[in-house]
Amino acid sequence: MADHQYPAAGRGVGAERARWSTTARAEALRLETAAGVEVTEFRQLGGEHRSLYFGGRLADGREIFVKAAAGDETAAALAAEANGLRWLGEVGAVSVPGIVFAGGGLLAIEWLPLGAADESAADDLGRALARLHVAGSPRFGAPWPGYIASLPLPNDQADSWPSWYAQCRLLPYCRLARDTGSFQPADVSLVEAVASQIDDLAGPDEPPSRIHGDLWSGNVRWSGGRGWLIDPAAHGGHRETDLAMLQLFGAPYCDRILAAYREVAPLADGWRARIPLHQLHPLLVHVCLFGGSYRESALSAARAALSA
């Protein structure tokens, strides 16, 4: 969610709209038509993963952040994001932005002014994340088609995490990396070795947890003294996956988040040794999205998972 300063109020909506870009006017009209709301301010903020981003204000004063899909596949990704936000929020454990409108290739959520992380907010996030995970999920996977960034995310539902993780999280992206030329045959064999030994590497059995699924530091929005979860790839998964993802790119006060988490929901022995196993999936996704620059990181995680 990009940062944005809204223009001062005072001009009529028509005069203000005339200053918007052609793209902003078109997407604002699309939102008004679909959601039945009046948009008084709208400005393009960039875009990513085949979506355009906008900041706006509604006639009732609510400030919003909007993603607009560029095509049917991106619209499906936004629908999955909306499903994930609702599912994470329904247990009341973590802070997620409220959905203003979702559908028709649009996702409008409440605007979260960017703040700063601090120790208190990190502690609160750790405890909230533990409560979210403990709330659980009926099964591993999810009842809706998943996406992570712009890539389809297999959400087939299952009762066993190790085989599900291998079949729905590791092997599909390993093979996509091969098919796009980022992986060589030896690379594929290494990841396949992890998948074949997953029962031995997975650690003690855990029930399905309600997880964010893509919880890198950029998907925690620090606002109003809290850490909010945004951009989920939510599903029933292993709780160590979210914790490993927080550590992958260095979330602020990560040690405090983990310590507070463990006060509420202690982790099974050996969880630190399993971090590379849980980081292997997001690193494979990065290989598929961004190419060979992440290849060695993914292969290092695979080797570390096997050696653990």
Mark whether 214 and 100 lie in a shared domain: no
Enumerate the β-bridge partners of residue 274: none
- Which residues, in sequence order, are CB contacts of 176 under 8 Å at separation 6+? 151, 288
48 — pLDDT class (breaks 50, 70, 90): confident
Residue 13, pLDDT score: 53
Mark whether 140 and 165 lie in a shared domain: yes
Residue 46, pLDDT score: 87
Mark whether 96 and 211 lie in a shared domain: no
State percent of the chain over pLDDT 90: 86
CB 39, CB 58: distance < 8 Å? yes
What count of Cα atoms within 13 Å lies in the side-chain half-sphere of residue 123?
A: 4
Residue 177 has pLDDT above 70, yes or no: yes
- Chain segment 243-265, per-residue pLDDT in tens: 999 999 989 999 999 999 999 99
Residue 71, pLDDT score: 76
143: left (phi over 0), alpha (psi -120 to 50) or beta: alpha
- Residue 99 belongs to a domain with what CATH number? 3.30.200.20
Residue 50, pLDDT score: 80
Which of 23-37, 71-85, 220-234 shows the highest mean pLDDT? 220-234
Residue 4 has pLDDT above 90, yes or no: no
7 — pLDDT class (breaks 50, 70, 90): very low
Residue by residue, DSSP assigns the chain as: -----PPPS-S-HHHHHTTS-HHHHHHHHHHHHHH---EEEEEEEEEETTEEEEEEEETTS-EEEEEEESSHHHHHHHHHHHHHHHHHHTTSSSB-PPEEEEETTEEEEE--------HHHHHHHHHHHHHHHHH--SSBB-SS-EEETTEEE----BS-HHHHHIIIIIHHHHHHHHHTTSS-HHHHHHHHHHHHTHHHHS-S--PPEEE-S---GGGEEEETTEEEE-S---EEE-HHHHHHHHHHTT-TTHHHHHHHHHHHSPPPTTTTTTHHHHHHHHHHHHHHHH-GGGHHHHHHHHHHHHH-
Mark whether 212 and 298 lie in a shared domain: yes
Mark whether 74 and 167 lie in a shared domain: no
Residue 84 has pLDDT above 60, yes or no: yes
> What is the mean predicted confidence (pLDDT) over 204-213?
97
65 — pLDDT class (breaks 50, 70, 90): very high
Q: In terms of residue numbers, what domain contains 263?
A: 119-307
pTM of the model: 0.92
Query: Does any domain span residue 7?
Result: no
Query: Does any domain span residue 249?
Result: yes
Query: Does any domain span residue 5?
Result: no
Boundary residue ending a domain (75, 90, 110): 110
- Chain segment 132-167, per-residue pLDDT in tens: 999 999 999 999 999 999 999 999 999 999 999 999
16 — pLDDT class (breaks 50, 70, 90): low
Mark whether 187 and 44 lie in a shared domain: no
Mark whether 57 and 170 lie in a shared domain: no
Give the residue with greater pLDDT, 70 vs 13.
Answer: 70
Query: Does any domain span residue 3?
Result: no
Number of domains the chain contains: 2
Query: Does any domain span residue 6?
Result: no
Query: Does any domain span residue 160?
Result: yes
Residue 94 has pLDDT above 50, yes or no: yes
At residue 84, what are phi and psi to the nearest 5 degrees? -65, -40
Residue 8, pLDDT score: 38
14 — pLDDT class (breaks 50, 70, 90): low
